[in-house]
Structure 1
Amino acid sequence: MFLTYLRRELTNRKKQTVIIAIGMALAIALVIIVSSISSGVKAAQSSVLQSVYGVGTDITVTQTASATTDGGRPSFGFGQSGGATGSDGTTKLSKSRLSVTRGTTAMSDSTVKTVTSTSGVSAASGVLNLTNSTFSGSITQQPGSSSGSSGTGTGTGTREAPTGGEGGGFGGGNFSVDEFTVTGIPTGSSTVGPLTSAKLTKGRALTASDAGKDVVVLDKTYAKSQSKTVGDTISIGDTTFTVVGIVASTSSDSATASDSYIPLDTAQKLSSETGKVTTIYVSATSSSDVSSIKTALEKKLTKATVSTEADLASSVSGSLSTASSLVSNLGTWLSIVVLAAAFLIAILFTISGVSRRTREFGTLKAIGWSNGRITRQVAGESFVQGIIGGVVGAVAGLVGILVINVIAPTISASASSTGTNGARGGAGTGGGFPGAAATGAANAGTSGSGATSGGFGGAGGFGGGQTASTTDVVLHAPVTVEIILVAIGLAILGGLLAGVLGGWRASRLRPAEALRSVA
């Protein structure tokens, strides 16, 4: 009886059923699409962070950078034997310097033990982030000039050169500064760190037997730009290193966290930072422990900066950040408003339908139908309408997700990381070599050229303290069974809510009043 009556009423009121179902379907489709895009944005954000910080990194610990008197620019001491002068009077200079990356401060590697002993920490790994700066160029001495004194060239342009005149002097020169990042990593196996998100494409990874050796693993992007492969050599801090492996990020086509990776103890020795690290990567036993671990570490390490994965995610910028903000704000609120509107439409149409069925419900009550039975009948009709709307909405949502994945929109993302991947050529404003042009040769960064009156240094400087690893990420909206079930459940909930309210309205009708209203 119940099902027969239910089918007849839905068939006789097709218009109401269609309107309620369409309203629910639109709301449910929007909820599914927004939820899937939100999951896709989070996955893209995690992908970008993995290329910089490594898989499994829940927390990073760094030391607050201290101000430097020289602005953090590298200095190069050449001395009397700093270069070789040819028969044509041209002196060639070349010097490399391996130093802690600007914007970072080294801390004792004993801090790693402190972090590891903290409750809730699963693993911790300390690395030393360095920048290798190579200053090279030539100075041409005019005929008839005496050899000038060789001092110490610094990135701030404090070196003075003999002034030129009719009798001779330095006629000109050309200088360049090339920089690339170097990361000293533990050679033993580690479950957390910058290379946990990298895959080996050629050669081998660093092993425990490489401790103290001059071997290096290069990032694939950097190796390609420098035409390097396994077996080649590369100069780091005036020391020749052998390339033993090439790695690439597994998360995207972007570069890994650094241009090159060498044994930690070797990096500490070459940079005169023995027993020091700059960044500690931390993995928590459980994601629920991250907040408590951060609080505990901040109490133990008062001078350190403790950042969680959520803090790191805030550093992701570009159109990915815009998409994330759009989904989390506009998308979420739009879904809530549309869902509320669909519920309201269903309730109003159901109550309106009950009002038009006054005679019907009065007759049913007159022949013995109870209030509960009438309420269940109206609720059953709305329940079916909610299911229809939920199913149609789920199909529409899946089609929308399919369209998004077929279009595969590309969004850019930049993840800020401490360090420099490139150099900046200084636009010399102060002293220096007259007539010399200073150019910055960089792996990734902004290059500039010095003015004809400038030297090396001045306003341009040598790079910055923060870099942004920029990459293009293809947005993929995943489909999960949970999202579909929740969406259909919301549609059913809306139908039941409308049915209960409509049924309550119908149950309050008195048979006599109902029959008189149509007499």
Structure 2
Amino acid sequence: MFFTYLRRELRRRRKAALVVASGLALGIALVIVVNSASAGMQQAQGKVLESLYGLGTDMTVTKAAPPPSEGGRERPRFNFDAQDGDETQSSDIVMPQGFETLASSTVGKVADQTGVAGAVGGLSLSVLKVDGEFKPGEFAPRENTSGGGGGGDTGGPQGEVRGGGANFDVNSYTVYGTDTAHQDLGPLTSSKITDGRAFETTETDAKVAVVDSAYAKEKKYKVGSDVTIKGTKFEIVGIATADSGDASANLYIPLKQAQTLSDSKDKVTTVYVKADDSQQIAAVKSAVQKNIPGTTVTTSADLADRVSGSLSTASDLATSVGKWLSIAVLIAAFVVAGLLTMSAVTRRVQEFGTLKALGWKSGRVTRQVVGEAMVNGLVGGALGIAVGVAGAYVLTAVSPSLTAEVGSAAAGPGGGGGGMMRAGGPAGQAADKAIEIALTAPVSAATIALAVGLAVTGGLIAGAFGGWRASRLRPADALRRVE
């Protein structure tokens, strides 16, 4: 009897039911789209941070910048041994990024801190390659313009040097020295080997290299090719493609080789740290800063606050405007659904009064109204889920591109000294190098569950309004209105 009457009443008042369901559907669909877009932006920010840190890295430790009173960092100096002749000459200047390094023993000290699951050191280098040639000038004798056989000024210069000079091309690229025995942390973890192989754990001091795919394409490198750095030849054993499209370094070589090339024995530029518990990152940061003086600790949260560009703007809009807008629309939909249900009950005063006169209890009438409202809510939830999922799918299919960059304030001690340097974690990402990310809007099971919960809540709210009105009806109200 309950379901028969319910079906008949919903069919008879399908327009009103559709209005209530559509209002709920709009609010629920907006919540799904906003939540999915927010999740997509969080994933995009995660990719940006992984491209700086490396997968699984919770924080990095670098050398603290000297106070301004001490004069800051010294500018680098190098000598280029030029030789006469027409042959092309080449020289590599290999420098640690930021010209600030830590002792390799710092890695062990960090690993011993409470809450640290693992710590790995890496050495980020910038290589300045100078190619070209010197051309000596030619001596041209001075012409004798004094007439008369040989009389003239014999005390002045007998000629001059003409021509000559230098023609050099300067290129730069980045090299990251990775600990091949511990490859689970660091920038290389944000890339996948797409050709060849990764480093073997035994290749701690081997002359092998992994090259970024974009750099390999530019220089026409392939697996088996050789690349020479400061006179040392490395065999390319693998080509890596960055997940975010922006690699942390152009070349990756074993850490010991990087230390040798840069005259940085037992030195690292960055320590990559993984915490035991993501909820204890702040505590681990405090412990490292307290127990290991002279270091700067940067967490993923620190970097996330400094990500700028359209990704940051869109994320802020989704968080502030989008969520509040969806909440406002949802509340409005609930209120309208409740008011429409209560209005429908008022218009059915004769019907409910007659049913009470025939023996229906107030509770039965209230259950009937709540049942109709619940059906409207579930229909609205189904429509809202369909529209919301479709909207999220369209957003993913369109894949609008967002840009993100880490400002110079995030560069830390590794960010100075050479704007071309990008490797080595958050300290090395160039501020003027934007990372482009395609926005997606993944719909999770939690989002669907939220939508179902909202649909049920909307039905209960509407039913509560209508049920309250129906419970106040009396059989005499119906008899007064019978003509």
Identify the TM-score tier after normalising by the shorter chain.
Answer: 0.7 to 0.9
Residues 137 and 73 (structure 1 numbering): CA distance in 2 closer, same or farther, change over 3 Å? farther
TM-score, length of structure 2 as denominator length: 0.83
Report the CA distance between 1:249 and its aligned residue.
3.0
Paired position in structure 1 for 2:26: 26
SS of 1:229's equivalent in the other structure is coil
Q: Is 405-414 or 347-356 further displaced after alignment? A: 405-414
SS of 2:139's equivalent in the other structure is coil
**Deviation string for 1:141-171 (max 9, x for gaps)?**
44339xxxxxxxxxxxxxxxxxxxx944776
Query: Is 1:494 matched up with 2:455?
Result: no
1:55 alignment partner AA: L
- Give the one of 381, 401, 405 matched to 2:392: 401
**Deviation string for 1:151-193 (max 9, x for gaps)?**
xxxxxxxxxxxxxxx9447764333332111111112133222
Report the CA distance between 1:487 and its aligned residue.
0.6
1:139–1:170 CA contact under 8 A, matched in 2: no
Residues 138 and 69 (structure 1 numbering): CA distance in 2 closer, same or farther, change over 3 Å? farther
Report the CA distance between 1:23 and its aligned residue.
0.6
Residues 247 and 443 (structure 1 numbering): CA distance in 2 closer, same or farther, change over 3 Å? farther
Q: Where does structure 1 lack aligned partners over 5 or more consecutive residues? A: 146-165, 425-441, 446-463
- Give the one of 367, 384, 400 matched to 1:376: 367
1:205–1:244 CA contact under 8 A, matched in 2: no
Residues 478 and 465 (structure 1 numbering): CA distance in 2 closer, same or farther, change over 3 Å? closer
1: CA distance between counterparts of 2:23 and 2:223?
Answer: 62
Equivalent residues in 2 for 1:148-163, closer than 5 Å:
none
1: CA distance between counterparts of 2:241 and 2:113?
Answer: 30
2:422–2:429 CA contact under 8 A, matched in 1: no
Residues 189 and 378 (structure 1 numbering): CA distance in 2 closer, same or farther, change over 3 Å? same
Equivalent residues in 2 for 1:41-120, closer than 5 Å:
41-66=41-66, 73-78=75-80, 82-86=81-85, 94-102=90-98, 105-120=100-115
SS of 2:123's equivalent in the other structure is strand
Q: Where does structure 2 lack aligned partners over 5 or more consecutive residues? A: 141-158
Query: Is 1:340 matched up with 2:342?
Result: no
1: CA distance between counterparts of 2:383 and 2:474?
Answer: 37
Residues 202 and 381 (structure 1 numbering): CA distance in 2 closer, same or farther, change over 3 Å? closer
2: CA distance between counterparts of 1:130 and 1:73?
Answer: 16
Paired position in structure 2 for 1:3: 3
1:223–1:246 CA contact under 8 A, matched in 2: no
Residues 409 and 336 (structure 1 numbering): CA distance in 2 closer, same or farther, change over 3 Å? same
Paired position in structure 2 for 1:321: 312
Query: Is 1:193 matched up with 2:186?
Result: yes
Residues 69 and 212 (structure 1 numbering): CA distance in 2 closer, same or farther, change over 3 Å? farther
> How many residue pairs end up in the alignment?
456
SS of 2:83's equivalent in the other structure is strand
Paired position in structure 1 for 2:223: 230
Query: Is 1:173 matched up with 2:175?
Result: no
2:172 alignment partner AA: E
**Deviation string for 1:462-500 (max 9, x for gaps)?**
xx9835554433333223333222212202201111211
2:64 alignment partner AA: T
1:220–1:246 CA contact under 8 A, matched in 2: no
2: CA distance between counterparts of 1:374 and 1:393?
Answer: 28
2: CA distance between counterparts of 1:246 and 1:34?
Answer: 41
Paired position in structure 2 for 1:310: 301
* RMSD (CA atoms): 3.3
1:422–1:444 CA contact under 8 A, matched in 2: no
1: CA distance between counterparts of 2:163 and 2:313?
Answer: 53
Q: Which has the higher helix share?
A: 2
Paired position in structure 1 for 2:153: none
2:138–2:164 CA contact under 8 A, matched in 1: no
1:134–1:178 CA contact under 8 A, matched in 2: yes
2:123–2:177 CA contact under 8 A, matched in 1: yes
Percent of counterpart pairs with the same letter? 44
2:54 alignment partner AA: G
